[in-house]
Amino acid sequence: MKLDGVPNFHKVTDNLYRSEQPTAEGMKNVEKMGIKTVINLRNFHSDKDKLSGTGLLNEELDVNTWHIEDEDVVKFIKIVRKKENGPFLVHCQHGADRTGVMCAIFRIIEQGWTKEDAIKEMTDGGYGFHSMWINIINYVKKVDIDKIKKELEKKTD
């Protein structure tokens, strides 16, 4: 898919899209195509300025590329499960690594994919995964999916 101002833009599902860091113009184009919420996975970078003048909802999760946390994955899945706030766009700087791991775990938990298939899409799906982040691949291999599912079942506000 191509959308001006939204590099590395791809459809994951009808309710979830992924990309690299969008520009301000890109945010307006995202809104025009019906996306309602932008999920920013970047540390030290807010989308607030780029979202100015749009009606897009803003979710910011500070995800460390070098150390993926279960709690970040749980927060991401909980956000995406709020269908009334979708469709969603999830992004990081390159739309490859942090975005890739979130989409991989989404595929496993929400769509029943195997870890192997999710890793293959994450690394070889044409999103530009950086092989130096072997820790992300190892995270997906070792993550306790049942533990994540239990966390997702807990009631929150």
Q: How is the chain split into domains, by residue range?
A: 10-145
The CATH class, in words, for 10-145 is: alpha beta
Residues with Cβ within 8 Å of 144's Cβ and at least 6 positions away in sequence, in order, are 70
CA angle (48, 50, 53) in 5-degree steps: 90
Separation CA 116–CA 54 (nearest Å)? 38
pLDDT tens digits in sequence order for the chain, 157 residues long: 899 999 999 999 999 999 999 999 999 999 999 999 999 999 888 888 898 899 999 999 999 999 999 999 999 999 999 999 999 999 999 999 999 999 999 999 999 999 999 999 999 999 999 998 999 999 999 999 999 999 999 876 5
